[in-house]
Structure formats: structure tokens, C-alpha cells
Amino acid sequence: ADVSYLDELERALRAAGVPRTRRARILLEFSDHLVCDPRAELGSPQLVAERFAAELRLVSTRQARLVAFCALALTAGSLTVTGGRPGGIVYAVASVAIVLGGQVALVCGVLALLPSLRRPGDAGAAVVVQRRVGTALAAGGAVVLAQSVQAASEAGSLSAWRTAAAFAAPALSSVALLLARRRLRGAERLTQIAAPDWSWPTPVLASIGIGATALMAAGSTWTEHSAFEGLTRGAVEGLAIALCLAGLGRRLGLRAASDRQLAV
């Protein structure tokens, strides 16, 4: 009966996403309990596994969030590697991708900080944080890809060492992002629940969008000394915000799938 219980517990822990090394320690601890007291009431294997998964998911999610921030910071820093003489449609498209991807990564990274992760019962918050971190990492990956395209397009205008640096920077960022994604995947395996139907109030979202658009328009007008340039960039910024909210709002917990409005 004892062996059967440990077998069931091992299967339940695996199904709950508990890592192999942690499963081994848990099984060893429970085996010792059964050796000391063969009649010990240890609880349902499924319930025990869920309790361990609940404790681990918050720790893993916090760690994944921290690693992702470090990887994204490294990616942002790699953009400071200066290029040669930019030009051409390929370089221009890659530049737009870097700007948009960088903005999405920044916004998702900031959003990932908002839900508090304090109790094992905060599983819903963990799901939202994981989705936001995952989206930020995907956007960071798009930035790295665009950066690599830029490096390839300008390689002929750079010296040997600057060419090497232009390719090494996105390569290093890619490794960091992949490591962060692997850490996030471990947290996701521990969080096998449906995402909560969260949303932000529409007036709050509208105010943020209008404020960001106005800030872009005013800043561009000031730096470019052109009202037309400011209005154009402001309009592009507003359109980008609207498209991102429409496409990613539900995944990021900003728009609810139902009519119910729940504040983060």
C-alpha cells in the first residue's frame, strides 16, 4: 500500500508540473514518513501535489519575471551598439520593428509588475503575470531579429570589429531571452489553470492611450520642430496602441472576454 501511495504521488506531482529534482526530494521525504509510521495519514496524492505546485508556482513565476527583466534589459542595452550608415527599405522596416517591439516589451514588462504574488492562492495573478512576461519576451525576440537584419544590411559599411559587435549583440540577447523563456516555461507547467477574466475599466485604458498619444505628439513636435511631424507620429502611436489593445488586450488581462469588469 505504501509503494502504491508513493507511485500515485509521483504521478500526481508529475501531472502538476513539479520539476523532477523537486519530485525526488518530496518522494524521499514522504517515504521517510511512511517508514517511521506506516499508518500515517498523508492526504490524497492529488491534493498533496496541488499544494506543492501552488507553493512552487509563485516562487517560479517571480523568478521567471526577474530573469525576463534581466534578459530584456540586456536586449535594450545591446541596441546601443552603433551601426554604420543606415539606409534602404530593409533597414527602415527593421527600425520600425525595433521601435514597436521595444514598446510592447516595455509595456508588458511594466504590466507584469502590477499583480501581487504573495500567497499560493494567487494562481490567477500568476497566470496573468506569466502571460505578460511571455508577451514581453516574444516582443524582445522580435527586436533581436530586427537587430540582426539591420546588422546584416549594414555589414558592408562597418569595420571588422564593429561588424562582429553588431552580430554578437543580438546573439547574446537571444541566449538570454531563451534562458528566460525556459524559466518561464517551468512556471507555466506549475500553473495549469484557466486565466482569470480580468479587465481594466474602459476610462482608464482610454486615458492612458490618449495620454501616450498626446505625449508622443508633443515630444515629436518639440524635437523635430514640426507640428506636422508631431501630429503624424502621434497618430501612428495612437493607432499602434489601439491595435495592440485589440490584439493583446485579453491575453494581458486588460480586456475581459465577458462584459464583467474586474480591476487589476
Which position has the higher pLDDT, 39 or 212? 212
- In this predicted structure, the answer to whether residue 117 has a pLDDT above a threshold of 90 is no
> What confidence category does residue 177 fall into, taking pLDDT thresholds of 50, 70 and 90?
very high
Structural contact between residues 107 and 135, judged by C-beta atoms closer than 8 angstroms = no
Q: What distance in Å separates the CA atoms of residue 30 and residue 110, rounded to the nearest whole number? A: 41
Among 209, 64, 59, 77, which residue's Cα sits nearest to residue 137?
Answer: 64
Give the rounded percent of residues in the chain with a pLDDT score beyond 90: 29
Exposed, middle or buried by CB within 10 Å (0-12, 13-18, 19+), for 223? Answer: exposed
First-last CA distance in the chain: 47
- In this predicted structure, the answer to whether residue 80 has a pLDDT above a threshold of 70 is yes
pLDDT tens per residue, range 218-239: 998 998 888 888 899 889 888 9
List helix spans (H) across 159-201.
Answer: 160-189
Backbone angles phi, psi at 260, to 5 degrees: -70, 135
CATH classification (class only), 55-193: mainly alpha
Query: Model pTM?
Result: 0.81
Looking at residue 126, its pLDDT comes to 86
Average pLDDT, the chain: 85
Q: What distance in Å separates the CA atoms of residue 264 and residue 262, rounded to the nearest whole number? A: 7
Query: How open is the CA angle 106-222-101, to the nearest 5 degrees?
Result: 20
Query: What are the domain boundaries of the chain?
Result: 2-47, 55-193, 197-264
Looking at residue 198, its pLDDT comes to 74
pLDDT tens per residue, range 206-219: 898 899 899 989 99
> What confidence category does residue 86 fall into, taking pLDDT thresholds of 50, 70 and 90?
low
The residue count for the chain = 264
> What confidence category does residue 259 fall into, taking pLDDT thresholds of 50, 70 and 90?
very low
pLDDT tens per residue, range 53-63: 888 888 899 99
Which position has the higher pLDDT, 181 or 250? 181
Looking at residue 260, its pLDDT comes to 45
